[in-house]
Amino acid sequence: MAMQLTPPQSEIFCNPARFRNCVAGRRFGKTHLSVTELLKAATSGKNKNCWYVAPTYGAAKEIAWDMLIHTIPEEYIIKSNESALTLKLINGSVISLKGAEKPNNLRGRALDFVVLDEFADMRPEAWYEVIRPSLSDRQGSALFIGTPKGRNHFYDLWANGMDGAEGWASFQYTTLDGGNVPEAEVEAAKIDLDERTFNQEYCAEFVTYSGLIYYGFSRELSVTDYPDNGGTLLVGMDFNLDPMSAVICIRKGEMLYAVDEIVIYGSNTDEMVAEIKDRYPNRHIIVYPDPASRQRKTSAGGRTDLSILQNAGFSVKAKKSHALVRDRINAVNSRLLSSTGERNLFVSSKCKQTIKSLERQTYKEGTSIPNKDGFDHMNDALGYLVEYLFPVRTEYDTPQPTRWT
């Protein structure tokens, strides 16, 4: 059997180390390599037990199941169980897809081989306390693969291979190295993204997250007073009771201007609606709130925040679930200052709380977790709006897999 691999994928595939780390940019072909590795391990002998583990069960199914099913020749499969995400092959081997949300649920099985996809997004105990011991009985092996997310536990394992630890090997490839994304598309992404995000997502660098979160903001270059000449207003909203926070924006093409802000302490959604209507009567208002507004109730009467906004006559645009916090941050930073030096997000001098928040919110020491220090509320409000309108582009179409022959 054979599957076509790119030269970088082949270098990883052919390396004999027991534990391998592949740090790669977006669309490198990590899933294709993972499936190839699983099939190699499952067909290397009888009754092999091989796992593909993603940060969540849903991600495992979405990312790898279809590729796995469409890659293995049908005659090699005895039983396919999509609800359990397992395949049993004619040689008795089993390939299973798992989620790492609850690491303890992964206990109890001896493993021959495991792929940990996007290990940076998993809790470290999934490996150290659960999966690593499961490899001992059969002296199994592991492939860690993913895009870096700062210098966390994935970085620690990658450093093992770089430092020459016995049984470990590490590899690092950019998106362009993968050969699946045209250079022109990578250059376009460079214009869209801030420098940190581009270096992490496309150059596969372990970017250190420390200090100021919104490092692209400059009081000298980002603060400008844009005229409000009527028309549609865009409102980013965060639903904390103390305070309720909203940032009022105007969009002009790719440019976004924050022209006003509302901060109300000890308040609720009804009061925020009344304040917006009082300041901007007879205006078309589009609100981009915290997605939790679908269930959250900050006002009396059993009404959700989302329904209050809609009943007030506002248009509401909210995602079904939260984007990752880092994706909101990256989206705002990319607007504040792209990696090519372009600025597409400006703040009025009257938005004093927004300016203060962008200037002062920091990461918790030694982590990529934002501090909840009072500067987060307005930044969250702005982030919901910006990430909805200008999501960080990370996914591109790649060729469909072909079956093994």
In three state form, how does the secondary structure of 120-188 look?
A: HHCCCHHHHHHHHHHCCCCCCEEEEEECCCCCCHHHHHHHHHHCCCCCEEEEEECHHHHCCCCHHHHHH
Q: How far apart are the first and last CA of the chain?
A: 5
**Distance in angstroms (rounded) separating the CA atoms of residues 233 and 280:** 9
Cis peptide before 148 (omega within 30 of 0): no
As a whole number, mean pLDDT of residues 360-383 equals: 88
User: What pTM value is reported for the model?
Assistant: 0.69
Long-range Cβ pairs for the range 60-63 (8 Å, 24+): 60/85, 60/97, 60/98, 60/99, 60/117, 61/85, 61/97, 63/31, 63/117
Kindly indicate the confidence band of residue 191, based on its pLDDT and cuts at 50, 70 and 90: confident
What was the pLDDT predicted at 397? 37
**Distance in angstroms (rounded) separating the CA atoms of residues 52 and 98:** 6
What was the pLDDT predicted at 340? 87
| pLDDT tens digits for range 214-245 | 999 999 999 999 999 889 999 999 987 679 99
Query: Among 30-34, 41-45, 149-153, 165-169, which stretch is predicted with the lowest mean pLDDT?
Result: 149-153
User: What's the CATH class of domain 219-389?
Assistant: alpha beta
Determine whether 381 is exposed, middle or buried from the number of CB atoms within 10 Å of its CB (0-12, 13-18, 19+). buried
Round the average pLDDT of the chain to a whole number and report it.
Answer: 89
The full length of the chain comes to 405
Query: Among 1-10, 69-78, 226-235, 293-302, which stretch is predicted with the lowest mean pLDDT?
Result: 293-302
Between these two residues, 240 and 132, which has the higher pLDDT value?
132
Q: Domain map of the chain by residue range?
A: 7-181, 219-389
Smallest CA-to-CA distance from 282 within 317, 314, 307 is with 314
Q: Is CATH 3.40.50.720 what the domain over 7-181 is classified as, yes or no?
A: no
Residue with tokens 């001992």: 136
Residue 22 reports pLDDT greater than 90: yes
| pLDDT tens digits for range 71-111 | 888 889 999 999 999 999 999 999 999 999 999 989 988 99
What was the pLDDT predicted at 19? 98
What was the pLDDT predicted at 260? 97
Residue 1 reports pLDDT greater than 60: no
Same fold, 7-181 and 219-389: no
Kindly indicate the confidence band of residue 394, based on its pLDDT and cuts at 50, 70 and 90: very low
Residue 396 reports pLDDT greater than 80: no
As a whole number, mean pLDDT of residues 142-157 equals: 90
Residue 301 reports pLDDT greater than 80: no
What was the pLDDT predicted at 347? 97
